[in-house]
Structures are given as structure tokens and as C-alpha cells.
Amino acid sequence: MPRTEVRRYKHITVHPVAGALGAEIRGVDVSAALDDAVIAEIRQALLDHLVIVFRDQKLTPQQQLAFARRFGEPMEYPQLRGLPECPLITPVLKLPHEQINFGGVWHSDTTYLARPPMASMLYAVEIPPYGGDTIFANQYLAYETLSEGLRRTLDGLVGVNTSTKADASRTREDRLKEAGVEMKVLTSEHPAVRTHPETGRKALFVNQGHTARFKGWTEDESRPLLEYLFQHQVRPELTFRLQWQAGSVAFWDNRCAQHNAVNDYAGFKRLMHRVTLAGDTPR
């Protein structure tokens, strides 16, 4: 599915990596004090491609946080503790003996919050020798490729999102136990289709990890339609698969992209550092 626009950038080099979404930005050291013009083009690339990737970076937690602050306000992750020396950086860790990974289900980050994140930024500190990819899906295209009739139906629906859906909550169990933290029960309602506040485009905004039902519907009534949408919104032609390298930074727009951390590296350690940027109320 081709992109609808090819944009010229003056200060950065942008290479699309899949038909639906995703691009690599080359020649930028994100640990440096970048000019405002460069930051503006990186932000535009994020809006254009939904997921942008920087390779071969060397970042301290403080440098990653400083870079993230150029795009928004970092927020604490509601279910996990941050690094002691930098609490707004959350370690995303899977140890060799653990069977379940963090985030190993299709989701948009923390849509059980009243104001879900604008974006997330993940830095690869230690990766397995193979596996551990992350797949992303374009939710603009997920909405636009539905029938006109279904789009009209969804435009009037509200999704009820919870932090305790089994598929998602089990991916946090190991880290919560290690930190001695109880699972929080958080619930929020959002439009099933949201309008992106910067681009004005509509995006499907339900997800398998957190959406339990539609407002005013029972879970049994909601299940057939949600199951259809969960399958539709991650069709292969709507996705991009990121193969991590040590030093890679991925920055994605949580308002219009979903992701899934692939759990296929049993016996190996994987450590990532994440920054989450505060968002607005979906409309």
C-alpha cells in the first residue's frame, strides 16, 4: 500500500523501510544538542511515517531523556518503576530464564489512561543474538481500509480500555513481582476512532491489549466486532517489522500506530530503555 506523499527534508535523511509505515533517519546523533530546525524535521518525519528509527546511537539515560524532551513531556509509566538514577527512563527487561516478555501482545501504550501517551521512545541497550523484533501497524490505514458502513458504525462507538486484560497484564507480571509492585486496575473510555490532533487524520483506536468492550455494550456483544477489528488492524500489509541492533532508537506515534514485541528469544537477555511522552485526551 503506497504512501500518499513524498516529502523533502532539508536537514535530515529519511529512508522509508516499508510500504505502510516506518522510516530510518540517518546521519543524526541524537545525543547531541540538535538545532530546532533539525528537531522540527524529525517531528515531521514522525508524523509522516508514524515510526522512525535511528541506528548506531550511544546514549546515557540522561541523554535519551534530554532528546525525548525536545518532542514532549516525559511521564512516569503507571505500571513499572523507572531507573533509580533516572526515574523517567523505564527499563524493559526480559531475563534468560523468563518465558513471557513485556508488551508481547498487539497494543497502543496505556490506553487505559484518560490521556494516553503521545509517543514512546525505545533504546536498545542489550539485544539477543537473534529474535526480539518489534512489529508496528498503521492505524490510519486500518481505519481507511474498512468499509464505509463499518466506518460509520465505529465513528459513533466508545471503547472501554482496562489495564487488566489477561493477554497484556501477564506480560508485566515478572517485572511487577521483582519490584514488589501490585497490578493497578486502571480503566478509561476513548473513541473507537480518534482524530489525530496534529495531522487531522482518523485512526482506529481499539487494541487487543487493552480494549475490553464498547461503552453501552456487554463484553459478549462486543467480542465479535472487536475480534474482527483486532485481526484487521494488524494485517501484514499494514505493518513494519523492526529488527533491532544494539544502539538503535525507535520513536513511534502512539496515537496512530500499534506495536507488538515478538517473544522468540528464549534463553537470552534483552534490555531496552523507554521514555514515554504525555499525550492529550483522544477525540
Query: Any idea what the CATH number is for the domain that residue 174 is in?
Result: 3.60.130.10
Query: How many Cβ atoms are within 10 Å of 266's Cβ, its own excluded?
Result: 13
Residue with cell 485526551: 281
Answer whether residue 2 shows pLDDT above 50.
no
Query: How many Cβ atoms are within 10 Å of 216's Cβ, its own excluded?
Result: 10
**Confidence at residue 110, expressed as pLDDT on a 0 to 100 scale:** 95
In a domain, 172, yes or no: yes
Closest C-alpha among 197, 206, 255, 273 to residue 51 = 255
**Confidence at residue 170, expressed as pLDDT on a 0 to 100 scale:** 56
**Confidence at residue 7, expressed as pLDDT on a 0 to 100 scale:** 73
* CB-CB contact of 238 with 111 (8 Å): no
Burial (CB < 10 A; 0-12, 13-18, 19+), residue 19, is middle
Answer whether residue 27 shows pLDDT above 50.
yes
In a domain, 38, yes or no: yes
Domain residues for 93? 13-277
In a domain, 66, yes or no: yes
Distance CA 10, CA 27 (A): 13
In a domain, 3, yes or no: no
Distance CA 250, CA 32 (A): 17
In a domain, 106, yes or no: yes
229: helix, strand or coil: helix
Distance CA 204, CA 144 (A): 9
In a domain, 168, yes or no: yes
**Confidence at residue 82, expressed as pLDDT on a 0 to 100 scale:** 95
For the segment 67-84, the average pLDDT, to the nearest whole number, is 92
In a domain, 47, yes or no: yes
Catalytic residues: 107, 109, 259, 274
In a domain, 154, yes or no: yes
Distance CA 222, CA 213 (A): 5
User: pTM higher than 0.85 for the full model?
Assistant: yes
21: helix, strand or coil: coil
- pLDDT, tens only, 147-185: 999 999 999 999 999 998 866 555 555 555 565 556 678
For the segment 6-20, the average pLDDT, to the nearest whole number, is 91
- pLDDT, tens only, 112-138: 999 999 999 999 999 999 999 999 999
CA distances to 80, 94, 135, 145 from 66, rounded to whole Å, are 21, 25, 26, 38
- pLDDT, tens only, 38-73: 999 999 999 999 999 999 999 999 999 999 999 999
* CB-CB contact of 116 with 109 (8 Å): yes
Burial (CB < 10 A; 0-12, 13-18, 19+), residue 212, is middle
- pLDDT, tens only, 193-241: 999 999 999 999 999 999 999 999 999 999 999 999 999 999 999 999 9
Q: How many domains does the chain have?
A: 1
**How do 158-162 and 249-253 pair as beta strands?**
unpaired
Closest C-alpha among 63, 81, 102 to residue 270 = 102
